[in-house]
Every structure is written in structure tokens, then in C-alpha cells.
Homo-oligomer: A and B are copies of this chain.
């Protein structure tokens, strides 16, 4: 008998993660405010008290859901910081890592991107998102200073446009589609760092000059 109860007969059991997954899907479908604990209990086929056995409140479920996405994104920057190579290479790794987090944690990142700061839990999540953005912006600034990235665009605008592109993937990406995360990360890097335009000899001279 497997530990997660997949061979258990009758009504499927839910561990904490299982409840979390169903809750995130419901929040994304109906909105957090419109999803009551009663609605959640119904979707899970559990009593409300069975949910309260795992989570103190709906707010705590949201907190855990947002933490899943934020921790994964923060880990990407932490690990890259430790790599210690050129800033442009570290940025390359952060962008690739972010695409992977987005694909692997699609539901919780989708939820994170919809947070508007209506509750204390949401405001804390927005604070962590801003801190993440700041670290990426600092990396862009470092790469501009070392001369590996063009320096004629404001670093904050660069960061916003890069993550605008990456975050938009949640709008259309569906698991099991044609593009896997590695391929999608390659595409993002190709556009963002190398550009779509084939260089003319003029352009190459201009860049080298």
C-alpha cells in the first residue's frame, strides 16, 4: 500500500498537499474571495472540520499556496547567486529557472500573479515579489556595468519587460503541450538576450564598434 493512499479503497483521502492543490485550482477558477470553506469542502468531498484539521483558516491555505510559488522563485535566485559567474550568465540562469518554476508550479504562480494586496497575507506575498524583482533588477544592473548587457535601457524597465514576457506564459501554457519547459526557456532566452532579428552586416559593425 503506497504511503499517499493511492491504493486506498472508497473515498480518496487528502493529505495537506492534496487539499492545497484542490484549493489553488478553486481559487484560480472562482477567485479567492468567492471560494468559501464550504465550497472547498464540497469540492473535496470532506467536512469543513476535516479541512480545519490541516489548515487553521482559508487565509492560511492562501499563505501556503503563495509560499509554494515564492519559495521556488527565491530558490532560483539563491542558487544563481552562489554560482558566482558573470552577471549576464547568472541572469540567463535566473530567466531559465523562472520559466521552469512557472511550468512546474503553474497553478500556484497563476494565483500569485493575481494577488492585488487585499489582505495581510496578500500584502506579504507582494512584498516578497518586490524583493525578488529587486534582486533580478540588481543582476541586470551588474550585467550592464560589466558590459555584457546593453546599458541604454533603464534596469527597472528591463526587469519588468523580461518578467512580463515570462509571466505571460501562465495565460496560455498547458502541461503536455508541444513545448516543454527546456524548449520554452530556450525561446525566452533567444528573444530576450539575443533578439529575433537576423543581424545585417551594418548591425554587426554597429554592435562591434
Contacts and interface: CB of A to CB of B under 8 A. Distances in A.
A203 to B, nearest CB: 8
Interface residues of A, number: 42
B187 A161 contact: yes
A78 B113 CA distance: 33
Contact of A150 (B163, B169, B179, B190): B190
A116 B80 CA distance: 37
> In terms of DSSP, what is the predominant structure of the interface of chain A?
helix
Contact of A168 (B163, B190, B195): B163
A3 interface: no
A196 B165 contact: no
Nearest to A164: B168
Contact of A172 (B153, B160, B169, B197): B160
A46 interface: no
B199 A153 contact: no
